[in-house]
Structure 1
Amino acid sequence: MSELQDALQEYLAIRHGLGFELRGLASGLRNFVAFLNRAGVAHITTELALRWATQPAQARPATWADRLGMVRRFAVWRRGSDPRTEVPPEGLLPHRYRRTAPYLYTDQEIEQLLVAAARLPSTKGLRARTYVTLFGLLAVSGMRINEALGLDRADVDLVAGILTIRRTKFGKSRLVPLHASTTAALQRYADTRDRTLRAVATRAFFISERGTRITDCIARYTFAQ
């Protein structure tokens, strides 16, 4: 392992200890350090950082700027122990971030979605009920899909009518109060789930017919159907 790879491991450990998510950061910076190693360079340079950040060529300018930004933050930290380190200047890859306008479904479209979900093929009768309840919960609560799928059974208080959302976008938890009709719908789903699959290892509230937590990818694929 090179000196720069050792430094990266230390940097990631510090970031993790401060509570930052490392998923995209760790893989991106490891890829960058490997890029430097292949180039035979033992320290960060602005030229190579820029060359790496603008790959792939067909990526959006915002993606290039994000990639360069993660390298720049690492370089700022690394320069404290390696004065050869070059810190890419801010604004080297300027871009204006444009948030995609959200699509707001009408009541009629939501109703059509739930009707379609109720018709999903299901060997045990649970799949359709799962997605009707899941999509219905998203529609009335404003939760993100990963928040709903991340719910454990202990997070769903059907007596008080409150959901506990953990591992939110900013790493905090919050409580979501439910309307009585939503609580009743979740209770009906829980009853159906427990009758259909009596012994499962997962703690997830929403589960597949195999008794596993539903993944974000599968949920989005099902929605697209």
Structure 2
Amino acid sequence: MTGLRTALERYLSMRKGFGYKYQHQARRLADFVSFMEERRATTITTKLAVAWATLPPDRHASWALRLTDVRGFARHVANIDLETEVPPVGILPPLKRAKPYVYSDAEINALLAAALALPPANGLRRWTYHCLFGLIAVTGMRLSEAIGLQRSDVDLDEGALTVRQSKFGKSRLVPLHRTTREALLSYAERRDVHLGSRCGPHFFVAERGGRLLHQYVHRVFWRLSREIGLRRPSDHTGPRVHDFRHRFAIRTLLRWYREGIDVEQQLPVLSTYLGHTCVRDTYWYLSACPELMEEAARRLDRRWEAKP
């Protein structure tokens, strides 16, 4: 085992010890170490880091992300090998986040209605997707969190969900509105009647009781979004399931602005609710939505006008 591979094991162990899942980063960094070993290179240099990060040449969108992984690893290794070069920030084009699509109420309603028309007419599938997409839209949960819910995580007596070990290894409680609680209660009753003794541990299940898989959920969403006109048949991009979460965050911030609530003070609350690791991730919504920027500008104007 090479020194870099040993250092990588220690680095990954440290990061995971801080609560990060680090699955994708671990895979990429293992590939980077293999890249270094193939070249018999024992010291990380900016030149080698960039050479690896810009592979494959036609996937520009991932270059900055790959280099960010190496930068963090290089900082760790630099404490052991003083000749290690830490790649500077800004030498590759930054990763651009997808612009959020903010669904209208009419689009949400149309999507949920289309889900109820999914075949088979007497099956559970249509109710599963109707309630799954509805829950994500009204709570801002991640798709992985929603399909990962266990039956024991859904307390319909208290009206709360327990999201366990989410994206950054943290757990949190998500309160439910009365109407959401009633919709989930109805779904749970239909599910149990439909499956009987075949019920598994997950709250949202496929037609035969198995766990929902990401790829199948996305396929159903793409089908429904084409049916209601959100995407054209030939479109490979467009509104996503994750945009339900963006809509929830943006609508919450807009409501706070319009009600005169101190958004700066409340941002940590929204950040915690959404399961962000830092408030910076929540601040991104302020710059990602023109309507939010307009509200922030109006509030700033009012403050200046109020000054003597």
For normalisation by structure 1, the TM-score amounts to 0.90
Q: Does structure 1 conserve the Cα–Cα contact (< 8 Å) formed by 2:118 and 2:125?
A: yes
**Matching of residue 222 in structure 1 with residue 249 in structure 2:** no
Q: Distance in 1 between matches of 2:98 and 2:81?
A: 40
Matching residue of 1:66? 65
Paired letter, 1:88: P
Q: How far did 1:57 drift?
A: 1.5
Q: Distance in 2 between matches of 1:85 and 1:128?
A: 55
Q: How far did 1:158 drift?
A: 0.8
Paired letter, 1:183: R
Runs (5+) with no aligned partner, structure 2: 224-308
Q: Does structure 2 conserve the Cα–Cα contact (< 8 Å) formed by 1:124 and 1:209?
A: no
Q: Does structure 1 conserve the Cα–Cα contact (< 8 Å) formed by 2:21 and 2:167?
A: no
Q: Which moved more, 1:163-172 or 1:189-198?
A: 163-172
Alignment CA distance shift 1:107-1:33 (3 Å): same
- The structure that is helix-richer by fraction is 2
Alignment CA distance shift 1:98-1:46 (3 Å): closer
What are the Cα deviations for residues 80-137 of structure 1, in whole angstroms up to 9, with x where unaligned?
2223322223333253x54333222222222221221112123861111111111121
Matching residue of 2:248? none
Matching residue of 2:28? 28
Q: How far did 1:140 drift?
A: 2.1
Q: Distance in 2 between matches of 1:76 and 1:105?
A: 41
Q: Does structure 2 conserve the Cα–Cα contact (< 8 Å) formed by 1:79 and 1:86?
A: yes
Q: Does structure 2 conserve the Cα–Cα contact (< 8 Å) formed by 1:165 and 1:174?
A: yes
Alignment CA distance shift 1:94-1:101 (3 Å): closer
Matching residue of 1:142? 140
Q: Distance in 1 between matches of 2:193 and 2:135?
A: 21
Q: Does structure 1 conserve the Cα–Cα contact (< 8 Å) formed by 2:150 and 2:201?
A: yes
Alignment CA distance shift 1:185-1:66 (3 Å): same
What are the within-5 Å matches in structure 2 for residues 41-60 of structure 1? 41-60=41-60
Q: How far did 1:72 drift?
A: 1.5
Q: Does structure 2 conserve the Cα–Cα contact (< 8 Å) formed by 1:124 and 1:196?
A: no
**Matching of residue 90 in structure 1 with residue 109 in structure 2:** no
Equivalences, count: 223
Moved over 4 A (4+): none
**Greater RCO, CA 8 A, separation 6+:** 2
Matching residue of 1:113? 111
Q: How far did 1:193 drift?
A: 0.8
Q: Which moved more, 1:184-193 or 1:207-216?
A: 207-216
Alignment CA distance shift 1:90-1:99 (3 Å): closer
Alignment CA distance shift 1:200-1:216 (3 Å): same
What are the within-5 Å matches in structure 2 for residues 180-195 of structure 1? 180-195=178-193
Q: How far did 1:201 drift?
A: 6.7
Q: Does structure 1 conserve the Cα–Cα contact (< 8 Å) formed by 2:199 and 2:209?
A: yes
Matching residue of 2:101? 103
Q: Distance in 2 between matches of 1:19 and 1:105?
A: 33
SS at 2:67 equivalent: helix
Alignment CA distance shift 1:91-1:76 (3 Å): same
Q: Does structure 2 conserve the Cα–Cα contact (< 8 Å) formed by 1:32 and 1:52?
A: yes
Alignment CA distance shift 1:89-1:140 (3 Å): closer
Query: Once superposed, what is the RMSD of the aligned Cα atoms?
Result: 2.0
What are the Cα deviations for residues 39-73 of structure 1, in whole angstroms up to 9, with x where unaligned?
12122122111100111222235x22221121121
